Chain A
């Protein structure tokens, strides 16, 4: 019953825990809407047990263990500000000033968790990839050094916009090329690339960037999308580019894979979300989000910055408001009232987590209610990563990165535990 990943929480904290129920637990919701109730109590043995009464079809309350549970935004925990930057008294020389400026202007675009679940790779705008040890940072004897990268290496010339991990490799992409690194070697600090591939681009003055990588495990292939408005499919076995899916009129921001059918969603700067059937390599559906009045926001532009899908549902945001769509009927179901453009969105259990401009991670009920806003340390967030590797249940955390050199770590969805830093 014990939540393994919460073991590190000091017992004192647990004993002093005051838990409040989430606000959105009223029973007067429309039928079909998910109701969600969370009760948590502090056990005397120092564990937290979470009972989730998930009422989709009137099932009995059952204890949910080992799952990342939201315990309410008004959690009565007082967490000290750990990484508050204190002004340095030491005057700096040229190299130090340059380093400080570089850190100050760093943006972390992408994150990826290692297959073992204990390490997190983060790629920044200088083309560097840093590997953090989550297990060391989360252990009870974590020091300041364990929140620094285990290893940092120069991966690309330009920014590292996207990274994914296969069961052996870390794939990173940014400036038109995708590169593969062996996780085992990275951890041994031998950072030599295994291979690099460039999709067949039409000649241009500027090499188009790659904004999104997507693994299709069933086909053992990788989909790349970015600056040249196409989706390129690469066979991971042979390393050849098999298909190019054309249709977008501007560059592609994001990709999402539908779990059951081999379909891929892509969101683009042109304001459209396109649904591709991988079997026929054809476009199956177009949703032009900006054309729907309820979610269009012309002053922000049309672009679709983030995309996530779950069964028949799709959530996308960007210039237009963050909107939940029902794919089969292609109608917007819920429009989330968030002014700032969102840069990353993901389904998590019965919640939608989104982040973008502003330093908060937004937790949404599917009904469109804002359940919580959890502040992070960066002024703007670009990527969220949920470490759900079954190999390392103790490292099950949410990490968020964006316009700073810090990667915020949330051991509990309710508050930022600490930050990893470049």
Chain B
């Protein structure tokens, strides 16, 4: 208790020391002064740390005083009231201090806030400024790139080169001393020079135009003069007609033909011109004419010549057909096919006259949409021919010209583009239409100057005069020999069918006078039959039995011996020899596979045919071969060694004179006939 009281006293003592009083006074002084200057100023002067100490001290004091008061009150007594009063006063003072401190704290807070706000505003302002500056930079950069990218029109102008500019431009434009170093000035100067030059050229252009105008006028005048000449010339022509007729000068007729020829499609035109030229220059027997309706041709070619573009042409036609009506699919295809295979209304007739007055009529057609030429052939003879049965195919228009050149059958279209056209309209091959349209032989295309690529892809399909000219002569000659050899065969077949082998006198020396073997049969056989014969295998395997060849069967007999000969006649007869295959029926069947001498006989007629050709153009070849075959059979039979074991005389006594019967390892018989002496020897 005592300690407590002492404690209570102590602050009292301290207070009574006067120091706090002094402070109080000071404070009060200051409070009094606060009327003149605000507490805010005071805040600046005071140290917040000390204020905090003061606050703690004040709180302690208040606690102590409160405790003392409570203590006093609980004790009770008389003087207690006074002491309590005293203590209350002291507490009040402390409360005052607390209030003061509270105020100060508030002011400090406010001040701190103000300061923070101020700083924040400053930062904001700076930020804004920065933004503005950045935007400005960006804008400037954009401007710079815009400037850099600027395209001046002068860059598109094609200027003369630098050296040329300095060489040609006058010094007052080039100003070499200024422009040499300064590319800008240089460009300006060059542009100036360009302008100067262009001005000059424009001037020239104007001059030329006026010149042209002048010349046009002159032409106009001359034209007028010429057109006035035309009627006068016509009248002169009219007047000269009777004179022409009187003097047998068919200028006019030829002129008319040429007039017609103008309407021919290009390939036929080339053919016509070249054939006429060839006829005039080399072969007077050749006559050329144009057939067909000129008006139709004219109508066809109103839009000038687009025969090259036949593809689109036919397309257009197809469209028209579909528009016109809607027929059934079959009819439509049929129409399309007809359209595809349409011939040009004009055709060229070429007549070849051979020596014996037989004629070969060739009619050339042009298939507009296929862009190929076709030919129809017809042979007429001076005399009426008796047609042997086996000669049926020889002069038929279908085969008379086949294989004029090796491999040229005229059954396929030579234009490779056609296949696609055919696919479109469902034509399998041209073969089925050939009889109607004529044969598209390769040589015909060449005569018409059409060259289609075969293996090497190098040619374009245009009508070419030089091509036609280069083929005209050989082709015409080939045609003539073909017709002649066919006619010769035709004649020969007639007698062959009667068992007579006609030998002309100039070939007589090839054979002995007495030939016993006789031809008894000469018939035509089908290709398939030939293929099926057992003794023709070699020829078939060697590829010599194509379906364009003509096939015959000859039968030669002597006594009981029968020699069958299957003959292949190439369409290119007589430059390509007929090929014989033999089968002898005598003491068994003998063919080249089981008898060396039969093989030798075959090679006598097939390989050694050249000595049998006779005089050119060797039309006797086939008959000479047959006759030799008869001789060979005689030799074969007469020299056959006689079998001693068989009784009776030989069937074929040896009549031919032979030096030796057999020779060499394969025991050949003497098949070679020596003419003047008349004996047989070995080859």
| B172 at interface by CB-CB < 8 Å | no
Give the residues in chain B near A102, CB-CB below 8 Å: 607
Give the residues in chain A near B543, CB-CB below 8 Å: 87-90, 92, 100
| B641 at interface by CB-CB < 8 Å | yes
B-facing residues in A363-379 (Cβ within 8 Å): 379
Give the residues in chain A near B480, CB-CB below 8 Å: none
| A209 at interface by CB-CB < 8 Å | yes
**Which of A93, A96, A103 gathers the greatest number of chain B CB atoms within 10 Å?**
A93
Please give me the residue from chain A that is nearest to B408 by CB atom. Answer: A91
Give the residues in chain B near A158, CB-CB below 8 Å: 683
Write the A206-224 contact mask toward B (1 if CB under 8 angstroms, else 0). 1001010000000000000
CB atoms of B599 and A100 under 8 A apart: no
| A109 at interface by CB-CB < 8 Å | yes
| A311 at interface by CB-CB < 8 Å | no
Instruction: For the complex formed, measure the closest distance between the CB of B116 and the CB atoms of chain A, giving whole angstroms.
Output: 100
Q: Which of A21-29, A60-68, A298-306, A389-397 faces chain B?
A: A298-306
CB atoms of A93 and B664 under 8 A apart: no
Give the residues in chain A near B603, CB-CB below 8 Å: 101, 105
Instruction: For the complex formed, measure the closest distance between the CB of B274 and the CB atoms of chain A, giving whole angstroms.
Output: 25
| A77 at interface by CB-CB < 8 Å | no
Please give me the residue from chain A that is nearest to B592 by CB atom. Answer: A379
Q: Which of B130-138, B146-154, B574-582 faces chain A?
A: B574-582
Interface residues of B, dominant DSSP: loop
CB atoms of A97 and B660 under 8 A apart: no
Given known pairs A91-B406, A107-B666, A205-B681, the reply for A100 and B659 (CB within 8 Å) is no
Say which residue of A101, A159, A303 sits within 8 Å of B662 (CB atoms). A303
A: number of interface residues (CB 8 Å): 46
| B665 at interface by CB-CB < 8 Å | yes
CB atoms of B542 and A100 under 8 A apart: yes
Instruction: For the complex formed, measure the closest distance between the CB of A317 and the CB atoms of chain B, giving whole angstroms.
Output: 13
Instruction: For the complex formed, measure the closest distance between the CB of A171 and the CB atoms of chain B, giving whole angstroms.
Output: 17
Given known pairs A87-B543, A91-B406, the reply for A209 and B663 (CB within 8 Å) is yes
| B643 at interface by CB-CB < 8 Å | yes
Say which residue of B542, B546, B570, B593 sits within 8 Å of A104 (CB atoms). B542
| B53 at interface by CB-CB < 8 Å | no
Instruction: For the complex formed, measure the closest distance between the CB of B582 and the CB atoms of chain A, giving whole angstroms.
Output: 12
For the complex, give the distance between the alpha carbons of A96 and B606 in Å: 13
For the complex, give the distance between the alpha carbons of A382 and B666 in Å: 8
B-facing residues in A180-234 (Cβ within 8 Å): 204-206, 209, 211, 227
Given known pairs A104-B538, A109-B664, A298-B645, the reply for A97 and B576 (CB within 8 Å) is yes
For the complex, give the distance between the alpha carbons of A212 and B543 in Å: 36
Give the residues in chain A near B185, CB-CB below 8 Å: none
CB atoms of A100 and B643 under 8 A apart: no
Given known pairs A94-B572, A105-B606, A357-B594, the reply for A251 and B544 (CB within 8 Å) is no
Give the residues in chain B near A305, CB-CB below 8 Å: 665, 667
Write the B542-585 contact mask toward A (1 if CB under 8 angstroms, else 0). 11111010000000000000000000001010011101000000
| A78 at interface by CB-CB < 8 Å | no
| B644 at interface by CB-CB < 8 Å | yes
| A309 at interface by CB-CB < 8 Å | no
For the complex, give the distance between the alpha carbons of A209 and B679 in Å: 18
Instruction: For the complex formed, measure the closest distance between the CB of A107 and the CB atoms of chain B, giving whole angstroms.
Output: 7
Given known pairs A90-B407, A97-B577, A100-B544, the reply for A211 and B596 (CB within 8 Å) is no
| B378 at interface by CB-CB < 8 Å | no
| B403 at interface by CB-CB < 8 Å | yes
Give the residues in chain B near A206, CB-CB below 8 Å: 659-660, 681-682
CB atoms of B665 and A403 under 8 A apart: no
Instruction: For the complex formed, measure the closest distance between the CB of B221 and the CB atoms of chain A, giving whole angstroms.
Output: 64
For the complex, give the distance between the alpha carbons of A204 and B663 in Å: 15
Given known pairs A109-B664, A251-B663, A301-B641, the reply for A91 and B592 (CB within 8 Å) is no
CB atoms of B542 and A382 under 8 A apart: no
| B68 at interface by CB-CB < 8 Å | no
Give the residues in chain B near A100, CB-CB below 8 Å: 542-544
Give the residues in chain A near B667, CB-CB below 8 Å: 269, 303, 305
Write the B603-620 contact mask toward A (1 if CB under 8 angstroms, else 0). 100110000000000000
Give the residues in chain A near B634, CB-CB below 8 Å: none
Instruction: For the complex formed, measure the closest distance between the CB of A244 and the CB atoms of chain B, giving whole angstroms.
Output: 19
Given known pairs A89-B543, A97-B577, A227-B660, the reply for A105 and B665 (CB within 8 Å) is no
B: number of interface residues (CB 8 Å): 45
Please give me the residue from chain B that is nearest to A306 by CB atom. Answer: B665
B-facing residues in A119-162 (Cβ within 8 Å): 158-159, 161
For the complex, give the distance between the alpha carbons of A298 and B570 in Å: 43
Instruction: For the complex formed, measure the closest distance between the CB of A100 and the CB atoms of chain B, giving whole angstroms.
Output: 5
B-facing residues in A61-89 (Cβ within 8 Å): 85-89
For the complex, give the distance between the alpha carbons of A211 and B664 in Å: 6
Write the A344-372 contact mask toward B (1 if CB under 8 angstroms, else 0). 00000000000001100000000000000
CB atoms of B593 and A380 under 8 A apart: yes
Instruction: For the complex formed, measure the closest distance between the CB of B102 and the CB atoms of chain A, giving whole angstroms.
Output: 116
CB atoms of B599 and A109 under 8 A apart: no
For the complex, give the distance between the alpha carbons of A104 and B600 in Å: 11
For the complex, give the distance between the alpha carbons of A107 and B593 in Å: 12
Given known pairs A298-B644, A357-B594, A380-B593, the reply for A91 and B660 (CB within 8 Å) is no
For the complex, give the distance between the alpha carbons of A158 and B683 in Å: 8
CB atoms of A298 and B662 under 8 A apart: no
Please give me the residue from chain A that is nearest to B603 by CB atom. Answer: A105
CB atoms of A403 and B645 under 8 A apart: no
| A35 at interface by CB-CB < 8 Å | no
For the complex, give the distance between the alpha carbons of A97 and B546 in Å: 12
Please give me the residue from chain B that is nearest to A303 by CB atom. Answer: B667
Give the residues in chain B near A93, CB-CB below 8 Å: 406, 576
Give the residues in chain A near B681, CB-CB below 8 Å: 205-206
CB atoms of B664 and A91 under 8 A apart: no
Please give me the residue from chain A that is nearest to B679 by CB atom. Answer: A205
| B72 at interface by CB-CB < 8 Å | no
Instruction: For the complex formed, measure the closest distance between the CB of B311 and the CB atoms of chain A, giving whole angstroms.
Output: 30
**Which of A92, A94, A251, A357 gathers the greatest number of chain B CB atoms within 10 Å?**
A92
For the complex, give the distance between the alpha carbons of A299 and B646 in Å: 9
CB atoms of A380 and B596 under 8 A apart: yes
Give the residues in chain A near B539, CB-CB below 8 Å: 104
For the complex, give the distance between the alpha carbons of A112 and B682 in Å: 25
CB atoms of B577 and A251 under 8 A apart: no
| A406 at interface by CB-CB < 8 Å | no
Say which residue of B593, B599, B659 sits within 8 Å of A105 (CB atoms). B599
B-facing residues in A274-300 (Cβ within 8 Å): 298-299
Give the residues in chain A near B403, CB-CB below 8 Å: 91
| A179 at interface by CB-CB < 8 Å | no
CB atoms of B665 and A91 under 8 A apart: no
CB atoms of A269 and B662 under 8 A apart: yes
Give the residues in chain B near A92, CB-CB below 8 Å: 406, 543-544, 576
Say which residue of A87, A91, A209 sits within 8 Å of B540 (CB atoms). A87
Please give me the residue from chain A that is nearest to B409 by CB atom. Answer: A91
| A253 at interface by CB-CB < 8 Å | yes
| A118 at interface by CB-CB < 8 Å | no
Give the residues in chain A near B645, CB-CB below 8 Å: 298-299
| B177 at interface by CB-CB < 8 Å | no
For the complex, give the distance between the alpha carbons of A269 and B664 in Å: 10
| B541 at interface by CB-CB < 8 Å | yes
**Which of A94, A97, A227, A299 gathers the greatest number of chain B CB atoms within 10 Å?**
A97
Extra inter-chain contacts (12) besides given A85-B542, A105-B602, A209-B664, CB under 8 Å: A87-B545, A91-B409, A93-B406, A94-B406, A98-B577, A104-B538, A105-B603, A109-B664, A205-B659, A205-B679, A206-B681, A403-B592
Please name the 3 residue pairs, one residue from A and one from B, whose CB atoms are nearest each other, closest first. A88-B543, A105-B603, A91-B407
Chain A residues in contact with chain B, CB under 8 A? 85-94, 96-98, 100-105, 107, 109, 158-159, 161, 204-206, 209, 211, 227, 251, 253-254, 269, 298-299, 301, 303, 305, 343, 357-358, 379-380, 382, 403
Could you give 14 example pairs across A and B, Cβ below 8 Å?
Answer: A87-B542, A87-B543, A91-B409, A94-B406, A97-B577, A101-B577, A105-B599, A159-B664, A161-B665, A205-B681, A254-B665, A298-B645, A303-B667, A379-B592
